[in-house]
Structure formats: structure tokens, C-alpha cells
């Protein structure tokens, strides 16, 4: 006769797969067991950094662990992307994924240091933010049409600053020059904030800056906005016309901030992170704050919907980036 122990083990082995699912969920319930590393590919004070710190501060009390924002602004964002793609898939290392890292870099690096599409998975969307074409406050061009006319009259003399080669601000500048039919000298910087400083110093003529960081400079009177690359005017800057209004039909571009994790992260952890980020981002106070910064908060997305969103962005922008001939710095 079999022993009671043998019968008990046999009964456990015969349990259906739903029991296994409950076990996986139980493992997810133990998360997080240590502080979270939130890796950002922008320098301190950049668009992704500003948004990441807002979200991290709101998430910490809900998670019960510290969230340590880590800035890895190198190699057009690839260093940050690699760091998370190669991290242990246990839900303790997150990436603030942007259009630069998750879309443009696919067209900019050859070979790719890591297969982004396979190594990372989308988890939650935070916000979208357009670019703003800015010039120094005393620049003679009073609007977009005037700027384009002056640039055409002096081909190659206007210097267009940007963040690192291949980043969103660089690609928007190249795309703008192509669409407007002007020849601009491109000057990339390790960080967009450095290009902004050189606009103020008169060494750079113009730049596309993300609205999150551009609007404070416009409000302070240091620079003047000539147009925003959103489909409609920003509630945070209602007097700033869109580039479409300025004559560039269909010119809509910008960046977005999302949360991505290593592809092998357990589903239970992915679902937990998705729910927590959506809860924070969709809160009225956070939506209002991100709106004040010049962003849009889309409706909450599931992880699958985030991946589908990124796939659409790749289909749209990778051919555009390749057409510019840009390469990562």
C-alpha cells in the first residue's frame, strides 16, 4: 500500500495548470524585494529625466521601495537601453523608454549592440510630448514663415542645435529642414540643455527642444517659440502656433515616455508594474501636471497595447530616420 506521503505527492502532481498560475502570481506578489533602478537615457533636467522623477516620487509610497533614478545619457540612449536589456528580468530594473531609444536607434546603429525589439517589452505608457522650434528672444524672425524665408536666403548659415545625433531633437531638425526646403548646419551636443545654452549665447540659431524643457525657457523670456510639432496647440502654451498652422502641412512629431522591462520578466510582475504606473499617471493631479509641462497623457494602455504602439511608431519613423542619413554618435 502506498504511504500517505506518496499519496500526497501524487495529488499535488495532479493539480491542474491554474494552480501553477497561482504559484506564479504568488511569486509576483513578493515583488519588489529591493529598490527599483529607473534608468533614464537623458541627462539630469532633460525631458525623460523630469518626467521620470515625477512618476518615481508618486510611485514610491505605492511600491514600498525606493526608486533610484539613474541617468545614462550616452551613445544616443543606447547605453541605458543595453543596461536594462541585459539586467536580471526580475522587475527591479526599469527603462524610461523614449522614441529615440526604442525607435530611432534601430535605424541609427549598424550593427545593433542589442536587439531592442526582442530584448525589451513595453509595460506602460506615461506621456507624449511634442517638439518646439525655438530661437533666441532677439532673433529677427518673428514667426515660422519669416524664419524659413531667412534660412532660404542664407543657405547653410543658420546653425540648428540638438541633443546627441540620432535623438528626437536631431531627427526633428533634419525632418524640418527637409520639409521646409532649407539647408541648416547641424550641431549636436551631448545634451539638449547644452544646445539651449548656446542659443542664449548666440552660437546656435535655433533648435527643436521637447516641450517639457522648452516651455520654461519661453515663459522666462530667454527664447521665443516659432511653432510646436503637435497636431493642436498646447493647453500649456495656447499662444504658440503649431507648425502646421505655420505652413508645414502634416508636420507632427515629438517623443514619448514609457516604461519598458527585460523581455523575460514574469507576467505577474509586468501586470503589477503596468497597474501601478497607470494608477499614478492617470490620476487627475498627475495628468494636470504633465499637461502643464507641455505633454499629453494618453488613455491607459495594457502591456500589449504599449508594444503595439511602439510597433506603429517604428513602422512610421524608421524609414524617415533612414532617409535623413543620420548615424548615431
pLDDT score of 5: 40
Predicted model pTM: 0.83
191 has pLDDT over 90: no
| 16 or 233: which leads in pLDDT | 233
CATH class in words for 34-129+255-324: alpha beta
Reported confidence tier of residue 29, pLDDT bands at 50, 70, 90: low
Q: What are 287-306's pLDDT values in tens digits?
A: 999 999 998 999 999 999 99
Query: Can you give the residue ranges of every domain in the chain?
Result: 34-129+255-324, 130-228
What single DSSP character describes residue 296? B
204 has pLDDT over 50: yes
Q: Do domains 34-129+255-324 and 130-228 have the same CATH topology?
A: yes
7 has pLDDT over 60: no
Q: What is the DSSP string of 198-248?
A: HHHTTS--EEEEEHHHHHHHHHTTSEEEEEE-SSS-BTTBTTS-BTTTTT-
**CATH for 130-228, among 3.30.360.10, 3.30.230.10, 3.40.190.10, 3.30.565.10?**
3.40.190.10
The closest of 95, 108, 1 to 48, measured between CA atoms, is 95
At residue 21, φ and ψ (nearest 5 deg) are -65, -40
Q: What are 274-291's pLDDT values in tens digits?
A: 999 999 999 999 999 999
Residue 197: which H helix or E strand, with range?
Answer: helix 192-200
3-state secondary structure of 65: coil
| 88 or 325: which leads in pLDDT | 88
Amino acid at each position: 500500500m502506498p504511504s500517505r506521503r506518496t499519496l500526497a505527492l501524487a495529488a499535488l502532481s495532479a493539480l491542474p495548470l491554474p494552480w501553477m498560475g497561482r504559484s506564479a502570481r504568488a511569486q509576483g506578489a513578493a515583488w519588489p524585494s529591493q529598490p527599483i533602478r529607473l534608468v533614464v537615457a537623458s541627462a539630469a533636467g532633460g525631458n525623460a529625466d523630469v518626467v521620470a522623477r515625477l512618476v518615481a516620487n508618486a510611485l514610491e509610497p505605492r511600491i514600498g521601495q525606493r526608486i533610484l533614478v539613474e541617468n545614462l545619457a550616452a551613445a544616443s540612449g543606447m547605453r541605458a537601453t543595453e543596461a536594462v536589456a541585459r539586467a536580471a528580468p526580475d522587475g527591479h530594473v526599469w527603462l524610461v523608454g523614449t522614441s529615440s531609444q526604442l525607435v530611432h536607434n534601430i535605424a541609427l546603429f549598424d550593427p545593433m549592440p542589442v536587439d531592442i525589439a526582442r530584448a525589451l517589452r513595453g509595460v506602460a505608457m506615461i506621456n507624449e510630448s511634442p517638439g518646439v522650434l525655438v530661437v533666441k528672444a532677439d532673433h529677427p524672425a518673428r514667426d515660422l514663415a519669416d524664419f524659413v524665408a531667412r534660412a532660404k536666403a542664407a543657405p547653410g548659415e543658420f546653425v540648428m542645435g540638438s541633443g546627441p545625433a540620432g535623438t528626437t531633437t536631431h531627427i526633428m531638425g533634419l525632418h524640418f529642414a527637409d520639409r521646409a526646403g532649407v539647408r541648416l548646419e547641424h550641431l549636436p551636443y551631448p545634451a539638449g540643455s547644452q544646445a539651449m545654452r548656446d542659443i542664449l549665447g548666440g552660437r546656435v540659431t535655433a533648435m527643436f527642444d521637447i516641450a517639457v524643457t522648452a516651455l520654461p525657457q519661453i515663459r522666462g523670456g530667454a527664447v521665443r517659440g516659432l511653432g510646436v510639432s503637435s497636431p493642436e496647440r498646447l493647453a500649456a502654451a495656447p499662444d504658440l502656433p503649431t507648425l502646421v498652422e505655420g505652413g508645414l502641412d502634416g508636420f507632427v512629431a515629438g517623443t514619448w515616455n514609457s516604461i519598458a522591462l527585460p523581455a523575460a520578466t514574469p507576467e505577474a510582475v509586468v501586470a503589477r508594474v503596468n497597474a501601478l504606473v497607470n494608477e499614478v499617471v492617470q490620476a487627475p493631479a498627475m495628468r494636470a501636471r504633465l499637461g502643464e509641462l507641455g505633454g499629453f497623457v494618453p488613455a491607459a494602455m495594457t502591456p500589449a497595447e504599449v508594444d503595439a504602439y511602439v510597433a506603429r511608431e517604428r513602422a512610421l519613423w524608421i524609414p524617415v530616420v533612414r532617409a535623413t542619413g543620420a548615424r548615431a554618435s
